[in-house]
Amino acid sequence: MPRRNWTRRETLMALAFYLCPPLPRKNWDDNDAEVRLLAERIGRSESAVCLKIGNLKACDPNRSGNGFAHAAAMDAQVMAEYLAEPDEAMSEAMWELEQTGIQISYDGRIEAPSPSRPNRPQQLGLERVEQVRTRVNQNYFRSVLLSNYDGTCCITGIDIPALLTASHIKPWSAATPSERLMSSNGLLLNALHDRGFDRGLITLDDRYRVVVSSRAPHTPTNDQWLYAFDGRKIALPGKDKSTWPSLDFIHYHNDCVFEQCA
């Protein structure tokens, strides 16, 4: 049987799976009902679907690790489309999945139809699309930073996921859609230092060292939880410098956030 290349439509649906892993697991498996349904609807094997998801991971420049090594040009094209225009690409992927009877839930999970739920496309409402794609994009950004920073706060080393936040260096409100997804615009921080970074009480210098604002008064508690890290270099995400915090974003934070909000 001649090999049938993946279409853009099929690759978009696989992209949606890549962006919505089956939490708390990180990867899809051949035996997952959702994978089986997509494979059935597009006429491919479950292993081919999982391989395509891995190939998309290999094309993701935000990750310091690698996926599988056999990505096609279409995989790179679709990944580039998503990173450049995440809302548009995600909306299209959601629409294509809907046509197969698969939905993405409000919390960003892939849902296969259950026996009690009709297996048919549902019309996407604009409000639902906005909510779902925002959650998917936020979950993607967080999962990338958790992976790149090995699940640890880059300042303190805290490694409890519930206490870790994917913090934007250039704030979400000021960033372009593509900047909001860049791992180089992110730091994995514990909740306290995320709040301090967001409120301009701490920042980074050009050598990735923590700088504490003079607006934070010296007290025994502040000295323990803030000033103890002043001048300390953060942990950086691996050897791939393209995933390191961008100095351009750090400069923005220094100029527009640091000591401006507290």
Mean pLDDT across 71-96: 93
Read off the tokens for 86.
Answer: 């995440």
- On whether residue 23 sits in a domain, the answer given is yes
**C-alpha–C-alpha distance, residues 258 and 196, integer Å:** 10
Does residue 77 surpass a pLDDT of 90?
A: yes
Does residue 173 surpass a pLDDT of 90?
A: yes
Q: Is 254 helix (H, G, I), strand (E, B) or coil?
A: helix
Quote the number of domains for the chain: 2
- Are 122 and 37 in the same domain? yes
- On whether residue 145 sits in a domain, the answer given is no
Q: Which domain holds residue 200?
A: 150-256
The confidence band for 243, taking pLDDT boundaries of 50, 70 and 90, is very high
For residue 2, the model assigns a pLDDT of: 57
Q: Specify the DSSP class assigned to residue 135.
A: H
48-80 exposure pattern, b = at least 16 Cβ within 10 A, e = fewer: bbbbbbbbbbbbbebbbeebeeebeebbbebbe
Does residue 124 surpass a pLDDT of 80?
A: no
pLDDT tens digits, 107-121: 999 998 776 665 555
For residue 4, the model assigns a pLDDT of: 85
Residue that terminates a domain, selected from 105, 139, 173: 139
For residue 1, the model assigns a pLDDT of: 42
Long-range contacts of 22-29 (CB under 8 A, 24+ apart): 22/109, 22/110, 23/109, 26/143, 26/147, 27/53, 27/54, 28/53
Q: C-alpha 46: how far from its chain's center?
A: 24
Contact (CB, 8 A) for 142 and 134: no
Does residue 5 surpass a pLDDT of 80?
A: yes
For the chain, count helices (H), then strands (E): 9, 6
Percent of the chain with pLDDT over 70: 92
- Are 25 and 53 in the same domain? yes
pTM reported for the whole predicted model = 0.89
